[in-house]
Amino acid sequence: MRGERPKGPRLLGSVAGQVFVLTAVIVLLLSAAAVVALVLQARYDSEREARNRGLAAATTLANAPGIEAALRAPDPTAVLQPLVERARMASGLDYITVMTPDGIRYTDSRPELIGKRAAGDIQRAAGGESFTELYTGAPADGVRALVPIRDSHGVVIGLVGTGIELGNISDVVEGQLPVIITAGVATLLLAIGGAFLMSRRLRRQTRGLGPDELSRINEHHEAVLHAVREGVLIIGPDRQLMLANDEARRLLGLTAEAEGRHVTELGLEPRTAALLASGREATDEVHLSGDRLLAVNVRPTEGMGGRHTGTVMTLRDSTELATVSGRAEETGRRLHLLYDAGVRIGTTLDVVRTAEELAEVAVPRFADFVTVELLEPVLRGEEPSGAYTEMRRTALTGTRAEHPLQPVGDVIRFVVPTTPMAVALESLRAVLEADLTTADGWRSQDPEGAAASEAYGLHSLIAAPLQARGVILGIANFWRADEPEPFDDEDLSFAEELAARAAVSIDNARRFTREHTMAVALQRSLLPRALPEQNAVSVASRYLPAEAGVGGDWFDVIPLPGARVALVVGDVVGHGVHAAATMGRLRTAVLNFSTLDLPPDELLGHLDELIDRIDRIDHSSPGADEDDGAGGSGARAPITGATCLYAVYDPTDGRCTLASAGHPGPALVHPDGRVEFPEIPAGLPLGVGLGGVPYESVELSMPEASRLVLFTDGLLEDRGRDFDTGLRLLRDALGQPGRTPEQTCADVLAGLLLPAPSDDIALLVAETRLLEAGRIARWDVPADPAAVAQIRQAASAQLAAWGLDDVVFTAELILSELVTNAIRYGGEPIRVRLLRDRGLICEVSDSSSTSPHLRYAATTDEGGRGLFLVAQLAERWGTRYTERGKVIWAEMETGGGAGDPEGPVPDLDALERLAW
């Protein structure tokens, strides 16, 4: 409603509110200052009165009759103490003291101080000077007066000191505080009340608006009045012109001094002046102004309370309406086309497709044919070299299928510098060739092609360079054949705008192509190039990068001691080079930790701790926050959101131990085709900063020919599919018995792969095998050194039965050392196991968790060479900890001659005595 104030304005946001707060703060500060000044003045007056009273009393007593005789009496204290005490009581002082010239008290209000020396500036009084001072010391702090006592000859024979304690002076001031504070509060309340009434009135006048709003309203009014394409006149109640905008001055021919004049003095047409003078309303009345026909509207204006404040007249030139309407329609079409270009160009991060979208947008609404040529480096995602005389045609779209233009894929060369394309590339501006029949440079470039184009009907051309960040990417050519009107200057500007928008999208696609190519190359270089040879499982794998950018998915197959194998799959959240690099760091860490032969849950715990330590080092290192010169921060992003699933399969008993760090669990396909998704404890993702939270592992029993399928969530989830739907599709794809791992991978991707996956996909299918019972030999060893020879004999017989006579001696020596060490330093039960896999594996287990260490024994040492011999004879050796102790293992190749020793055969029994 007119004149209505805004509802619920904020007090501090309005001008009135700010004036009120400012006034209240000033009054409060002034009142506080006045109260403080009054208190200080009262204290000063009380102190001055205390000085005067003390000095007067001391002077009176020093000049009292008989004071000289009393001082010369044998016992001045007995004479003076009663007199002085009565004088103190009568004067209201806190103490009066009579002293010798050197400050020894004859009298005092505190008898215990009599005979003691007074502190302070006694020498001034002894010198004959009377004074007052602020005194600190015994008997109390206060205002003290000292006056000398003179005899009849003017000689100082004593001193009189009087004083009032500071506490009593403060009591006087405090007694006046209520009156002072009451007066200050009353003054403050009156002033704030006046400020409130003033701000209330100001609030009504400003309608509760703030200063920024008032300034913004004024700026908006000024901008609208002078930018609008309608004339506006504001007439006051006295019919004087108050304001005329630029359009009104143009339409009516007003001078710069028109404001302030009466409407009849402005030189207007009589009919128009009469309308303004009358003040009546008018709607679209046509008035003549020179050779213009103006559509006039007049409306009265009202202020607060409905008070008439004048009139407003608006003017429109009806003679320009037709022209403006036609231009507006054309401008609307162009704007709509630019909007479509912004929506339709750059929908994919593909260079070729982006060029095609540019051509499709412009045909047929702007041109009949559009060709786009791009530099070869741009098509490959590389930086343009700077040479642009040769390009490849990338897109061609027209209103007709048949045309004389060179097809997509041809190399276009601009060898004639006067062609429109060459001129546009050289000047970095679009070039208009309105009539191709007169374009000599274009005709000389390809005379035969130019003749065919003219015969076809191509008659007008705009060549617009595609440039982004000041670099030429290619050129877009707009042709007209069906439209008889040639291109004009407005079309030239529009073509430049369209080409500029498309160039940005093409450059974005080019840069994405470059980064995507780099990330894919980095990702593939960090993934395993070939899966290692091992007999525990038969493995097939797939890795597919996302269309939107390479992520951090990875997989691994890691052979472990004891014929076991570790299966790993992981995912780093995010895309791009950083995600790929992070994946490489995590994969390397897993490979390193796997050499320690840790259980899956412990390995994930160490991995999480390592990531947290790496993040702290990266962000605390010097220069971590500095710019890296590539437009970004030099600090690495933290490794958060990474997940990992780690599984260890043992072919000797068919058991698989798994642990997960926030990663989806695997699928287990039984030999009969039955599919299940075992429950895996879902631990926290790696690097979330909650160190110390343990991971849990689970153990599965897997029959031979079972398939363990590990995958990342990109296989199941996508923008149009949830996780549960993906699991259902995965179950359907896996539920076919008798499939090899390679066939299983193909079935899974055929059933779940989307045309354009939004996330990376890593898939690992492992078909389990069991080590035949005939390839495993076990013995329990009693804790008796004599059992070592028996184990050697049993192992020799077993190796001979396996046909491994070439490694018998080496195996006997290694077993002898390992068993001897277990008997001497380990605990029962002690067991020996031989595994015949790709090589021979010797394992000795005991219940002790003490780990042996390789060392070099001195020439005088009797022992310490056993583990050194094992390390020299075995291909690999190490220690694996179990829940009830440890296993020391050693692996040997079973090729010919590997176990033949050089030189004389040592005495094994003697070596047992030198072991460890």
Say how far apart CA 103 and CA 97 lie, in whole Å: 10
Residue 334 has, within 13 A of its CA and on its CB side, a CA count of: 15
| 3-state SS class at 142 | strand
Collapse the DSSP code of 621 into the 3-class scheme (helix H, G, I; strand E, B; otherwise coil) and give the result. Answer: coil
Each as own residue / partner, the long-range contacts of residues 176-184 (CB below 8 Å, 24 or more positions apart, any chain) are 176/42, 177/39, 180/35, 180/38, 180/39, 180/42, 181/35, 183/38, 184/31, 184/32, 184/34, 184/35, 184/38
Give CA–CA dist 441/425, Å, rounded: 14
pLDDT at 651: 94
* Residues whose CB is less than 8 angstroms from the CB of residue 901 and which lie 6 or more positions away in sequence, other chains included: 809, 810
State residue 906's pLDDT score.
Answer: 45
Asked if residue 854 lies in contact with residue 871, where contact means CB atoms within 8 angstroms, the answer is: yes
Q: Find all residues with CB under 8 Å of 377, minimum gap 6, and list them.
A: 383, 384, 385
| Cβ atoms 707, 753 nearer than 8 A | no
Question: Residue 377: exposed, middle, or buried by beta-carbon count in 10 A (0-12, 13-18, 19+)?
Answer: middle
For residue 332, the 8-state DSSP code is H
d(C-alpha 657, C-alpha 607), whole Å: 17
Question: Are 314 and 297 spatial neighbours (Cβ–Cβ below 8 Å)?
Answer: yes
> What does pLDDT average to in each consecutive run of 10 residues of the chain (916 residues)?
45 65 77 76 75 81 81 83 82 83 84 81 80 72 83 84 75 66 75 72 64 67 70 85 83 82 84 84 82 83 72 79 58 80 84 92 91 91 80 92 90 88 90 89 87 90 90 92 88 90 90 79 75 90 75 89 93 79 87 90 90 71 47 50 92 94 93 92 81 85 94 84 87 88 92 78 93 92 88 90 89 87 87 91 88 58 62 84 87 61 45 42
H/E stretch holding 390 reads strand 390-398
Q: What angle do CA 651, 654, 658 make, to 5 degrees?
A: 100
pLDDT at 63: 83
Q: Which two tokens stand for residue 530?
A: 């070939």
Q: Let me know the angle formed at the C-alpha of 800 by 796 and 806, rounded to the nearest 5 degrees.
A: 90
Burial class (CB in 10 A: 0-12, 13-18, 19+), 309: middle
In the block, residue with structure tokens 């006149």: 233
- Written as six digits, the tokens of 369 are 């044919």
Q: What is the DSSP letter of 851?
A: P
Q: State the maximum Cα–Cα separation within the chain, in Å, rounded to a whole number.
A: 151
**For position 250, what pLDDT does the model report?**
81
Q: How far is CA 343 from CA 329, 331, 337, 348, 615, in A?
A: 21, 18, 10, 11, 41
Total Cβ atoms within 10 A of residue 853: 7
Q: Are 767 and 706 in contact (CB under 8 A)?
A: yes
Query: Do the Cβ atoms of 459 and 435 come closer than 8 Å?
Result: yes
CA 887/CA 891 separation, integer angstroms: 13
Q: Counting beta carbons within 10 angstroms of the beta carbon of residue 75, is it exposed (0 to 12), middle (13 to 18) or buried (19 or more)? A: exposed
- The dihedral through the CA atoms of 869, 870, 872, 873 has a sign that is positive
CB within 8 Å of 902: residues ≥ 6 apart: none
Q: Please count the other Cβ atoms lying within 10 Å of the Cβ belonging to residue 448.
A: 8
**Rg of the Cα atoms in the chain:** 52
Q: Count CB neighbours of 735 within 10 A.
A: 14
Residue type, position 407, single letter: P
For tokens 């840790």, name the residue. 598
The dihedral built from the CA positions of residue 837, 838, 839 and 841, taken in this order, carries a sign that is negative
Q: Which residue has the tokens 């400012």?
A: 22
What is the amino acid identity at position 71?
L
CB atoms within 10 A of CB 300: 14
Bridge partners for 892 per DSSP:
840
- Strands 142-150 and 131-135, sheet pairing: antiparallel
Are 618 and 636 a contacting pair, CB within 8 Å? yes
- Look at strands 667-669 and 707-711 and give their pairing: antiparallel
